[in-house]
Amino acid sequence: MPSAARDLPPVSRGQNAVFVLPHDWASIAEFLAPLVDRIDESDSELQILIATGDAEVAAAVIAASARLIGERSIRVLAATSAARAARLAKIRPPQIVAGTPTVLVDLVRATAIKLANLRAVCIVWADELVARDESASLELLMAEVPKDAPRTLVASVVTPAVD
C-alpha cells in the first residue's frame, strides 16, 4: 500500500470517499462492500445508486453486489436499458441500481426509481464516464440526488476532468 494511502484517515459512514483503483473486476468489492453494508433490509426503497460507464460494468457491479449480499434479502437491478429496467423496477423495486448516467436519468424522469431515500451514490470509474461523454447526464443525475447522500467516487486515474 502506498505511503500516502496509509496516512489518510479512515472513511466513516457519513463521509464521501474517493477510491483510485484499476479498472478491474477484482477491484469492485473494495468500494462496493462498504456501500452494501449501509443497506437497511427493512426499507424497501432504493438505497444505493451506482453510475457506471456502460451496461457491462453495471452488470459486473450488480453481480459483485449479489456475492457481497449473500443470504440477505436485498433486491438489485442492473439497468442495462431504461425500458427494461423500468419494467423490472415496477415488478420488484430494487434497493441497489447500477447503470449509465443516461439510463439512470431516464429512470428518474419516468419515476421508475425514486432517489429520496438514498443512503449512498457511487460513481464507478469516473475517468471512463468523462471519456464516454457522460458528464452532462451525470450532472443531471447528481442534481436529483439528495444533498445528504454520501458520495463515493472510483477512478482508475484522477484527471483534471474527474477532479
Look at residue 8 and tell me if it is in a domain. Answer: no
Residue 13: which pLDDT band, with cuts at 50, 70 and 90?
A: very low
Cβ–Cβ under 8 Å, residues 135 and 143? no
Which residue range forms the structural domain that includes residue 61? Answer: 20-155
Look at residue 162 and tell me if it is in a domain. Answer: no
Cβ–Cβ under 8 Å, residues 124 and 53? yes
Judged against a pLDDT cut of 60, whether residue 79 lies above it is answered with yes
Look at residue 11 and tell me if it is in a domain. Answer: no
Look at residue 3 and tell me if it is in a domain. Answer: no
Look at residue 163 and tell me if it is in a domain. Answer: no
Look at residue 6 and tell me if it is in a domain. Answer: no
Distance (Å, whole) CA 23 – CA 156: 6
Look at residue 4 and tell me if it is in a domain. Answer: no
Number of domains in the chain: 1
* Residues 30-74: tens digit of each pLDDT: 999 999 999 999 999 999 999 999 999 999 999 999 999 999 999
**Of 28, 47, 35, 29, whose CA–CA distance to 11 is shortest?**
35
CATH number, domain of 120, equals 3.40.50.300
Interval 90-95 mean pLDDT: 96
Q: What does the mean pLDDT of the chain come to? A: 90
What is the pLDDT at residue 4?
42
Look at residue 151 and tell me if it is in a domain. Answer: yes
Interval 25-30 mean pLDDT: 92
- For the entire predicted model, the pTM comes to 0.89
* Residues 123-144: tens digit of each pLDDT: 999 998 888 888 899 999 999 9
Q: What share of the chain is helix, strand, coil (3-state, %, to 5)?
A: 40, 15, 45
What is the pLDDT at residue 110?
96
The per-residue b/e assignment along 110-127, b for 16 or more CB within 10 angstroms, e otherwise, is eebbebeebbbbbbbbbb
